[in-house]
């Protein structure tokens, strides 16, 4: 367990588990916030350059690799019935890199019914029958190879994505957009999700390190046990 001690000057310090020296934890709350926003940034602000750069070099590429493996589709926030993205709770641990997903979800589910800049980047998948703005529908038809004009039906003032088929008609097309992504990406959807989730979860440890120092029994504790 990490130790924090207030020295006589009022500074917050931790004791290094390696040599017993003191580690100056400058502004631990601010450093923790910065480390959540960008992995390792809080450690850099505290002057712990090696660890800051190490965290940054380890976690940022891992998150980006996950995004690349999942073709940019695996990080999104969705709490619709039938499409609750529990993985995003872990992905959000990476901070600023995952924040656009929250904005996109809020925009798409909001009154505008379209994500920011009409960009599908980190936007949640459309579910069957979901109304979207005509501009976003047009952007998807133009830019998404898996979606064409037949996937939308006018529902003034919106466009409805893949409305349910009439009674008695059998529809063999994937019901929603996330099914299309799974079909196209195969196992890479899960692998990309795993990479981004792990990057977010590991960053929670980095945030704790910025706030409270290394998680290791101090030499003083180890002596006390003997």
Partner 1 sequence: MTPLAALIAVTLLDRVPGVVYGLPLVLVAAIVFAATHHEDSTAIKRATLEWIGWLGGILGGVLVAVWLVSWLA
Q: List residues near partner 1 by CB under 8 A.
A: 16-19, 21, 23, 48, 50-51, 54-55, 58-59, 62, 65, 69, 187, 191, 194-195, 198-199, 202, 205-206, 208-209, 213-216
Nearer to partner 1, 20 or 165 (CB): 20
For the bound state, the minimum distance from the C-beta of residue 73 to partner 1, rounded and expressed in Å, comes to 17
For the bound state, the minimum distance from the C-beta of residue 78 to partner 1, rounded and expressed in Å, comes to 24
For the bound state, the minimum distance from the C-beta of residue 145 to partner 1, rounded and expressed in Å, comes to 25
Nearer to partner 1, 120 or 200 (CB): 200
Nearer to partner 1, 65 or 175 (CB): 65
Smallest Cα–Cα separation from 128: which of 80, 177, 69? 177
Smallest Cα–Cα separation from 94: which of 119, 118, 122? 122
Nearer to partner 1, 38 or 199 (CB): 199
Nearer to partner 1, 63 or 181 (CB): 63
Ordered DSSP codes for the chain: ----EE-TTS-EEEE-TTT--EEE--SHHHHHHHHHHSTTHHHHHTT-HHHHHHHHHHHHHHHHHHHHHTTT-S----EETTEE-THHHHHGGGGGGGHHHHHHHHHHHSTT-S-GGG--TTPPPPPTT-EE-HHHHHHHHHH-TT--GGGEEEETTEEEESPPPPTT----S-SSHHHHHHHHHTHHHHHHHHHHHHHHHHHHHHHHHHHH---S--HHHHHHH-
Give dist(CA 210, CA 163) in Å, integer: 49
Nearer to partner 1, 123 or 210 (CB): 210
For the bound state, the minimum distance from the C-beta of residue 111 to partner 1, rounded and expressed in Å, comes to 40
For the bound state, the minimum distance from the C-beta of residue 40 to partner 1, rounded and expressed in Å, comes to 9
For the bound state, the minimum distance from the C-beta of residue 221 to partner 1, rounded and expressed in Å, comes to 13
């Amino acid at each position: 367990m990490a130790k924090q001690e207030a020295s006589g000057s009022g500074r917050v310090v931790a004791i290094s588990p390696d040599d017993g020296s003191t580690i100056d934890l400058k502004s631990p709350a601010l450093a923790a916030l910065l480390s959540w926003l960008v992995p390792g940034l809080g450690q850099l602000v505290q002057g712990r350059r090696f660890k800051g750069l190490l965290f940054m070099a380890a976690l940022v590429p891992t998150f980006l690799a996950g995004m690349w493996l999942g073709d940019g589709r695996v990080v999104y926030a969705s709490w619709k019935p039938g499409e609750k993205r529990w993985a995003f709770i872990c992905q959000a641990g990476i901070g600023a890199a995952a924040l656009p997903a929250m904005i996109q979800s809020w925009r798409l589910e909001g009154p505008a019914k379209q994500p920011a800049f009409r960009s599908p980047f980190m936007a949640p998948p459309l579910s069957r029958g979901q109304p979207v703005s005509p501009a976003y529908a047009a952007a998807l038809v133009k830019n998404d190879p898996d979606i064409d004009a037949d996937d939308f039906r006018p529902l003034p003032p919106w466009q409805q994505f893949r409305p349910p088929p009439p009674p008695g008609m059998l529809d063999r097309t994937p019901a929603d957009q996330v099914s299309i992504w799974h079909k196209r990406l195969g196992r890479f959807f899960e692998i990309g999700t795993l990479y981004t989730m792990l990057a977010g979860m590991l960053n929670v440890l980095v945030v704790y390190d910025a706030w409270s120092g290394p998680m290791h029994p101090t030499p003083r504790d180890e002596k006390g046990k003997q």
